Amino acid sequence: MTDFLLASGRGVPVEFGGRRADSPSALLSGAARRNKFRLIKVRNNHYVITGGRRVIGGFAVHLTSLPSDEALRASTSLPLARQYLQLDGLPVPAGASFREDELEGGLAHFRAMKSEAVVKPASSAQGTGTTTEIRSEADFRAAWINATSARRTDAQADPRLLVEEQVPGLDVRAFVVGEDVIAATARVPLFCIGDGERTLREHVEEVSGLREAHPLFGKFDYDAVSYAQASGLALDDRSERGRVYQLSHGINMRSGGVTVDVTDRLGPSVRELAVAATWAIPGCKAAGVDLLLPDLSTADGAHLLHVDVQAGFAVHHYPWIGARRQVADALIKKMHENSRG
77 and 175 fall within a common domain: yes
Q: How many domains does the chain have?
A: 2
Measured in degrees and rounded to the nearest 5, phi and psi for residue 331 equal: -65, -45
Helix (H) or strand (E) run with residue 328 in it: helix 327-339
| Residues β-bridged to residue 107 | none
> Does residue 34 fall inside a structural domain?
no
Whether residue 123 sits in one domain with residue 80: no
One domain for residues 146 and 174: no
* CATH number, position 284: 3.30.470.20
Out of 111, 136, 166, a domain closes at 166
How many Cα atoms are found within 13 Å in the side-chain-facing hemisphere of 68?
Answer: 11
The model carries a pTM of 0.94
User: Residue 108 maps to which CATH number?
Assistant: 3.30.1490.20
Residue 54: inside a domain: no
Look at residue 248 in the predicted model and tell me its pLDDT: 94
How much is the pLDDT for 341? 64
The pLDDT profile of the chain, 341 residues, written as one tens digit per residue, is 778 988 887 677 888 887 789 999 999 999 999 999 999 999 888 999 999 889 999 999 999 999 999 999 999 999 999 999 999 999 999 999 999 999 999 999 999 998 999 999 999 766 789 999 999 999 999 999 999 999 888 888 899 999 999 999 999 999 999 999 999 999 999 999 999 999 999 999 999 999 999 999 999 999 999 999 999 999 999 999 999 999 998 898 888 999 999 999 999 999 999 999 999 999 999 999 999 999 999 999 999 999 999 999 999 999 999 999 999 999 999 999 998 86
**111 is in which domain, residue-wise?**
94-166
Are 251 and 142 contained in the same domain?
A: no
Report how far apart, in Å, the C-alpha atoms of 190 and of each of 93, 209, 315, 324 are: 26, 12, 15, 19
What pLDDT was estimated at residue 124? 79
In this structure, are 238 and 205 located in the same domain?
yes
**DSSP class per residue in 143-206:** HHHHHHHHB--STTS---EEEEE---SEEEEEEEETTEEEEEEEEEE-EEE--SSSBHHHHHHH
Quote the CA–CA distance of 172 and 288 in Å, as a whole number.
10
Contact residues for 248 (Cβ-Cβ < 8 A; gap 6+): 189, 190, 222, 224, 227, 255, 256, 257
Do 212 and 105 fall into the same domain?
A: no
The confidence score (pLDDT) of residue 45 equals: 85
Q: What pLDDT was estimated at residue 17?
A: 81
Burial of 278 (0-12, 13-18, 19+ CB in 10 A): buried
